[in-house]
Amino acid sequence: MNLPICRAVEPGFGLRIPTASSSTSWRVRNFATRSRFRPDLGGTPGPDRPRTNAFKRVSPGPAPIVRLGHVVLSVSDVSRTVGWWSEKFGVLVSDDIRLPDGTTAASFLRCDRGSVPTDHHSLIFATLPSGRVGFHHAAFEVIDFDDLVLGGEHLVERGRERVWGVGRHLLGSQVFDYWADPWGNKVEHWTDGDLLTADQAMQIQGMDAMTGVQWGPALPATFL
């Protein structure tokens, strides 16, 4: 079915196509070419942008959000859900999380942009031990590690609850910091994640890889 493309009026603007229904009966809204926050990073260090005769100074405050990086949803049937998204949107599986009996417990999905590198995952579908179905968390990219830490200090000063962090994930490799919002949802700040091209093969992983960290605190028992 061919759907018409129209201009979006929602924040970020860009282009969109009408809402579609997924295998989970959720409604999916599809956007492209949306604007994103691109700050002047000034003296960002690195081999291609050395900081010479300039001094980096950071200021306290909330972490500026660059963009929405990914969303994690709990579903009753991961394989069926991934099949629908693969058919409708051509997403690729970066990592498939398998239980000892071979059942898929979670899938990390990325966009197929061919030879253009893209985030390790833009969507994660998982079945939770509780069997609950719905929204798990949204992850927002921040500028860099300084902003992630300063943003965390800003939230601590305002009495917000840190759920998990700071650490570096194994899958996706992001530096992460999770927080509880006032309505009981989880929100992640992250920076410095992996980028993959379409020719990167799917990896089959165990639960220890999904919940593991390269450094930082272990996954809290209440997180899932």
pLDDT digits (tens, 9 = 90+) for 148-167: 999 999 999 999 999 999 99
Burial (CB < 10 A; 0-12, 13-18, 19+), residue 92, is buried
The residue extents of the domains of the chain are 1-35, 65-215
- Here the tokens at position 87 are 């058919």
CATH of domain 65-215: 3.10.180.10
Mean pLDDT, the chain, integer: 87
| Residue 137 neighbours by CB under 8 Å, 6+ apart | 71, 72, 178, 185, 186, 187, 188
pLDDT digits (tens, 9 = 90+) for 89-125: 999 999 999 999 999 999 999 999 999 999 999 999 9
pLDDT of residue 40: 47
31 has a pLDDT exceeding 70: no
Rounded Cα distance between 9 and 3, Å, is: 18
- Here the tokens at position 28 are 């999916």
Residue matched to tokens 């660059």: 66
pLDDT of residue 22: 61
43 has a pLDDT exceeding 90: no
Per-residue pLDDT band for 55 (boundaries 50, 70, 90) equals: confident
